[in-house]
Amino acid sequence: MAAALLCGAVAISVYQLTPASAPQSPIVVAGADLPAGALVSAAQLRIAHVPYGAVPDGAVREIAAAEGKRLSAPVRRGGMLTDASTVGPGLLAGTPPGTAAVPVRVADPDSLQLVRTGQAVDLVLAEESGREGRNASRIASGVTVLWTGSVTDQSGAWLGPPKDQNGLLVVAASPEVAPILAGASARGKVFFALVETPR
């Protein structure tokens, strides 16, 4: 996520240093500071024109393409929107080939308030084991958080209405880990632990 913000800053710097006569391209930018998880409305966006060389990959060029989508991270006023700015397939931009965005429903939805996109977590599954109670095992280590369902303001998001998002944590999983995580909440209770983000 920090890399995405850096790219936006670099693009703006290039724009400022480029002569006004350079060929321009329309892009969508935020008309105000927008928080992560916000559903974007047309009134919150505007069109800006920047040199073609300053347009990042996946840039949104029409307001209609971003309207009604949920932001995956905060966007400052004037910040460019790309496919990675909203919840959807663009969340996997820059990840290794084969990486999957896997939704996992955690047992304690309120705990998601502690998590932010870009953080790394370990996922633990507590399964019923008869009279012995629950048997806990780690099912994923250091997976990156792509999105959390802790924000429930309106409907229309990528993962459905707010009632369906409650407790959802979307993580980036390798081809080996993704099948283990899929449906994990149906096998028991899933918890997470914040860990140091891999460098």
- Token output for 83: 């496919």
pLDDT tens across the length of the chain (199 residues): 544 544 555 455 555 555 556 789 999 999 999 987 788 999 999 999 999 999 999 999 999 999 988 888 889 999 999 988 887 778 888 889 999 999 999 999 999 989 988 899 999 999 876 666 678 899 999 999 988 876 444 333 445 545 556 788 999 999 999 999 998 989 999 999 999 876 6
45 and 63 in contact (C-beta within 8 Å)? Answer: yes
Distance CA 138, CA 126 (A): 9
H-type alpha helices, 43-101: 63-66
Q: Which domains are present in the chain?
A: 2-86 (3.90.1210.10), 95-195 (no CATH)
Query: What is the model's pTM?
Result: 0.64
* H-run or E-run covering 4: helix 2-17
